[in-house]
Structure 1
Amino acid sequence: MPSFDVTRSRFRLNDDEVFVLAQLATGQAVPAPMAPAAARLRDAGLANEAGELSALLLPLMKTLVQPSVIISLEAGGRQGTLHHGLLIGDDHVVCHETWPGEEEAEYRLVEPRTVVWTLADLVALRRSGEAADGAEEVVETTTGVLEAGFAALEKAASTPGADERTLVAEALRAAGAADATVARLAELAVELRSNWRMTAAWQGRQDGAQGVVARAVAAWDCGPLGYWLRELPAEPLAEGGAPAGSPFRLRRVAAKRIWQELTALLPDAAELTTA
């Protein structure tokens, strides 16, 4: 059931409900299969029988329908993959966040001047003790080797009493990982809290032609083992991901570097053009 919190300008909505709101906001008919979602919105007081939206929704819908910049975050972990993001409009900024196992996402207005802080919060950026000294470390393997390690980790997680690190290391070695990287890569896989990729896209000019311009950054949050930028495979990834034999490279960095990468995703005024 959709719901809202007036005190913080936030709404809980599922995908069907967002679609219906977008249809109503742009004066389009709601398709018959979306009738249950439309009914739920009316019951929650977010729309009326005439298809008019509650005034509470106006800043949110104006931004959802006409964003200048779309920032999407795909964050994978042991509970599956979650999708969060930020929509930056002319007057407002909307943040949306999902929750493991829930169909609804929370949409809330955020202060435009806090965009980078909000992005940092979406990836749970914290000071990392191990990487705080600025010392960098590189771990290299292939995508196929890494997938073998994660398959072993998933199996170990469902086996009571299993030694995850040992099983992952064995799988990495069997898949062809170099002896020098097996132990460290197994540590990182076991400690991995979030494997995320953030992409910013907007209408601009690239190579002299107008179109969609995008920048992306990917990283691992390995908790006590710090933050690791994923340098290879390079973004943007082709649809379907990288082949098994593709080089895979992680570089340990301080939290400050992650902050810098998030800041660099955002376009400046000169990069934005009217679509």
Structure 2
Amino acid sequence: MPSFDMSRSRFRLADEHLIVLSELATGDEVPDEFTAARKELVGCGLIDEDGRLSPLLRPMMETVLSPGVVISLETAGRQGKLHHGMLIGERHVVAHEAWPGTAEAEYSRVEPKMLVWKLADMVNLQQSPAGRETAPMTVETAIGTVEAGLAVLESGRPAHASAEDERAAIRAALAAGSGGGPVPEPLAGLISEIRATWRLTSAWRTRAEGGDGVESRGFAVWDCGPLGYWLRELPVEPVSAELIGPAGPFRLVRVTAGAVWARITDLLPDDGELRRAAPGARTAG
């Protein structure tokens, strides 16, 4: 069910609620398939019977309908996949954060000066003793090998299985996935310690001679808990799943939390790039 916290200007909305709000905000008819979602929004007071939006929603919807920069955060871990993100408009910044096992995401306004801090919080960026080590470490293999190991985590650990049992299953899966080829020694340990893997991408429209274009940046990280942060250098982000295959190269490099912070900062366009940005297309977040 949709709900809101007036004191902190935050809202819990499912995708269908946001679709209804977007249609009403632009003066369009709400399709019949979203009648139940519309009734829920009326019930919680975010719209009235005539479809007028609560004034509380105006800053958020202004940004959702016309963002200048869209930042997407995709995470995967033992609780499945989640999609978070941030929309940067002309006057406001709106973050949306999913929650495992629920249809609703939390939408909240972010003070622009706190934007990088908010993104760091969304990926749970923390100092790690392993991350402070200065000696670099690189792990290289094939994408298919890594996917075989990650499939063990996705299948879930049986109730009777220990952490060592799981690690043994990961080693076996990696060996099978490599087709008899070499498997980097640290890889099984990294996979077994994964808290989350995540990828951050930013995109904005630009105007240039000859027409409109899109600029994008991105990077991906493995958060391996006590084993620190690992930047996925290959495949390079942003990347389309259609362009990579099992035989493609895969490379992880251990990095510090400070290096991750710098990467987050570099995602954002500079002032000159923002001035050249075209108004964003309508989006449901």
| TM-score, normalised with respect to structure 1 | 0.95
What is the CA distance between 1:205 and its match in structure 2?
Answer: 4.5
Gaps of 5+ in 1: none
Match of 2:117 in 1: 117
Distance 2:70 2:33 in 1: 27
1:156–1:164 Cα contact (<8 Å) kept: no
1:119–1:262 Cα contact (<8 Å) kept: yes
Query: Equivalent of 2:222, from 220, 226, 241?
Result: 220
Match of 1:204 in 2: 206
1:69–1:88 Cα contact (<8 Å) kept: yes
What is the CA distance between 1:139 and its match in structure 2?
Answer: 0.2
Whether 2:273 is the aligned partner of 1:271: answer: yes
2:206–2:214 Cα contact (<8 Å) kept: yes
**Cα distance change of structure 1 residues 178 and 188 upon mapping to structure 2, 3 Å threshold:** farther
- Report the residue type matching 2:230 in the other structure: W
| TM-score, normalised with respect to structure 2 | 0.91
Whether 2:154 is the aligned partner of 1:150: answer: no
SS at the partner of 2:145? helix
Per-residue CA distance 1:135-191 (angstroms, 9 max, x = gap): 21100011100111122344561362251111211221232275461x310000000
Distance 2:143 2:208 in 1: 30
State, as a whole percentage, how many aligned pairs show the same letter. 50
**Cα distance change of structure 1 residues 180 and 239 upon mapping to structure 2, 3 Å threshold:** closer
Q: How many residues align?
A: 274
**Cα distance change of structure 1 residues 209 and 94 upon mapping to structure 2, 3 Å threshold:** same
Distance 2:207 2:194 in 1: 37
**Cα distance change of structure 1 residues 4 and 206 upon mapping to structure 2, 3 Å threshold:** same
Match of 2:236 in 1: 234
Match of 2:55 in 1: 55
What is the CA distance between 1:50 and its match in structure 2?
Answer: 1.7
Whether 2:107 is the aligned partner of 1:107: answer: yes
Distance 2:252 2:211 in 1: 34
Whether 2:174 is the aligned partner of 1:175: answer: no
Distance 1:262 1:217 in 2: 9
What is the CA distance between 1:4 and its match in structure 2?
Answer: 0.4
Distance 2:207 2:168 in 1: 50
Distance 1:26 1:235 in 2: 34
1:231–1:251 Cα contact (<8 Å) kept: yes
Match of 1:43 in 2: 43
SS at the partner of 1:131? helix
2:69–2:204 Cα contact (<8 Å) kept: yes
Match of 2:282 in 1: none
Match of 1:25 in 2: 25
- Report the residue type matching 1:245 in the other structure: A
What is the CA distance between 1:133 and its match in structure 2?
Answer: 2.9
- Report the residue type matching 1:33 in the other structure: E
What is the CA distance between 1:134 and its match in structure 2?
Answer: 2.8
Distance 2:3 2:232 in 1: 38
**Cα distance change of structure 1 residues 207 and 128 upon mapping to structure 2, 3 Å threshold:** farther
1:135–1:253 Cα contact (<8 Å) kept: no
SS at the partner of 1:170? helix
SS at the partner of 2:231? strand
**Cα distance change of structure 1 residues 156 and 98 upon mapping to structure 2, 3 Å threshold:** closer
Match of 2:255 in 1: 253
1:93–1:112 Cα contact (<8 Å) kept: yes
**Cα distance change of structure 1 residues 89 and 154 upon mapping to structure 2, 3 Å threshold:** closer
Distance 2:154 2:52 in 1: 48
- Report the residue type matching 1:19 in the other structure: I
